[in-house]
Amino acid sequence: MGTNGSTMLEPLRQGLPPLDPAAVSNAASCALPARYEAVREARLFTRRTLDQWDIGDRFDDVCLVVSELVTNSLRHGLPAGTLCTAEQSPPVRLHLMRWTARLVCAVRDPSHATPAPREPDDFSAESGRGLFLVDSFADSWGWHPMAGTLGGKVVWALFQLPHPPQTLPAE
């Protein structure tokens, strides 16, 4: 992705009406502890949330992407020695936001490092495919730096949702 905010957010805007934060129909968020078990917690949170929003049919794709984004945040977005320390407040946060025809999954972490996808050289390798999978399963993805006191960055993935069936007025 690019190096400035507008470039990083451009895939979120391409071919779609603007995302008005006030038009979010549903939003949910959870703090995740600095331990790898948080990936499972993120999947469970995502399952419950998508079921509540009646979009559970997208769970497999969304869950895979959420798992990859959270894993990347834990692996690459935390300062050395942070993982597995319970004393600090949870440094990673998962946000799910739903508009009528799209879902955005966003994971915030304290790192300022640019997420860099790399082509997997060896598909049997145990790691290195996270953002490649995100790119393959989400309709678009990107990242942006956080401003103000939060710092760090947010990596997001967008899923287009089928439009709900239109009901015809009774005659």
Is 0.85 surpassed by the pTM of this model? no
Domain residue ranges in the chain: 25-119+126-160
Which sign does the torsion angle of CA 119, 124, 128, 132 carry?
A: positive
- Architecture of domain 25-119+126-160 in CATH? 2-Layer Sandwich (3.30)
* Runs of H (alpha helix) within 78-145: 130-137
Measured between alpha carbons, how far is 97 from 117 in angstroms, rounded to an integer? 24
Which ranges in the chain belong to alpha helices (H)? 5-13, 38-52, 59-76, 130-137
Diameter over CA atoms, the chain: 66
> For residue 40, how many other CB atoms are within 10 A of its CB?
11
What does the pLDDT profile of the chain (171 residues) look like in tens digits? 333 344 445 555 444 445 555 566 888 999 999 888 999 999 999 999 999 999 878 899 999 999 999 999 998 888 776 665 555 566 899 999 998 888 999 999 998 888 876 665 655 555 557 888 999 999 999 998 888 777 889 999 999 988 665 555 555
Q: Is 49 exposed, middle or buried (0-12, 13-18, 19+ CB in 10 A)?
A: buried
Please give the pLDDT value at position 162: 80
Rounded CA gap, 153 and 73, in Å? Answer: 10
